[in-house]
Chain A
Amino acid sequence: MTNRELYKQAFSPLHTSVKSSLNTVREDNTKKVFKMKSGLAACIVLFLLFSSMASAYAADVGGIRETIHLWIYGKEVDATVIVNEDNSYTFSYRDGEEEKSITAGGVSLDEDGEGTALSAEEVAWGSGLYDDVVEKEDGTIWLYYYSYEIDITDLFEDNVCKVELNEDGEKIFFDISKEGHGFPYGISQKPQGLMKNYNIVNIKE
């Protein structure tokens, strides 16, 4: 077998779940425009430059150090933050038995396009260090956001779960899907799609 044949064999099992229907494309594009608009507005305040993650001890590269609190699976965790020369941050924290580190950075852009480096907390939020979706051994599915732990098992419909968290008027929107053994999801301060589909969950300290 040639390399070309082998390569094609390796990538042929990948298929899109998008149907070949113009109506589907139109409908999804309507949703997409909405998403893109909200994304565009959000870009004014946050633009993640890069992000990388590794299960390893963070290299001690110097820079300004501070400590912030992250929320890993609903548990508060102290993270050491190193401010790198390019204004990115390296967060190092313990996740169970594992030491993890993630490097990310961002700028906020004002209406004139002027950028200001984001704070460590803002970058941590944008990098998903305050939230997670996990299936427990008993088969229940839980959404974690800061200290909140919400059972969303029954909120799935066709492997999709949309949750609007309300905390004293502040809203956060989660779009969660079930794919294989994982739960890829998006988090945003604006609804991503048709708002009426969100399951509203009110949370209080």
Chain B
Amino acid sequence: MRIETELLMNRYKDHVFRIAYNICKNPADADDIVQETFMKYHMSKIEFESEEHIKAWLIRVAINQSKDLLRSFWHRKSLSLNEYRETLSFETETAGNVFEQVMALSPKYRIILHLFYYEDYNVKEISKILEITESNVKVRLSRGRKILKNILKEDWKDDE
């Protein structure tokens, strides 16, 4: 199946942006990744099994594009995390703290936490998207949670 590109952008462009920002920590670069990802989809001839399959493909492309961008020659001075945070409107102070603390984590924990908590993927699905073993996903997820718990204390529950 295929979904018309503009419709797909409406549904998933912010998801792609959040993933790209999670890796690049630069909103301008993340915008570039959004454009590149949907252009790749538009130009591709892949027949997908379902909308979920398309979404996972978009996420994988965005992750790869973000990693490539970090290695490119073109250097950009980005807004600092604090500067970008000032442009965002969080519902609560706790939400703002969670954003800040997640973004302070190592990228290998950040992306897994994001796929788990924001995109609702399970360990097996994350392992397929990132092409790493399930045990590796579990270890990183567990360490990421532990770090957040230590920093956020009672704001971060003991649930999954």
Contact = CB atoms under 8 A, between A and B. Distances in A.
B is a partner of A: yes
Interface of A: 2-4, 6-11, 13-18, 20-22, 24-26, 28-29, 32, 35, 39, 42-43, 46-48, 126-128, 132-133, 177, 179-188, 192
Contacts of B71: 47-48
B17 A6 contact: no
Contact of A47 (B5, B73, B117): B73
Interface of B: 5-6, 9-10, 13-14, 16-18, 21, 26-28, 30-32, 34-36, 38-39, 42, 71-80, 83-84, 86-92, 94-96, 98-99, 102, 113-114, 117-118, 120, 145, 155-157, 159-160
B159 A29 contact: no
Given A8-B118, A181-B86, A21 B73 contact: no
Interface centre among A3, A35, A177, A184 (most CB of B within 10 A): A3
Contacts of B39: 25-26, 28-29, 32
A25 B42 contact: yes
B159 A2 contact: yes
Contact of B28 (A21, A28, A32, A179): A179
A2 B160 CA distance: 8
A140 to B, nearest CB: 19
Given A14-B14, A25-B9, A126-B73, 13 more contacts: A2-B157, A3-B145, A9-B95, A10-B99, A13-B99, A16-B17, A18-B9, A21-B6, A35-B74, A47-B71, A179-B27, A180-B83, A184-B77
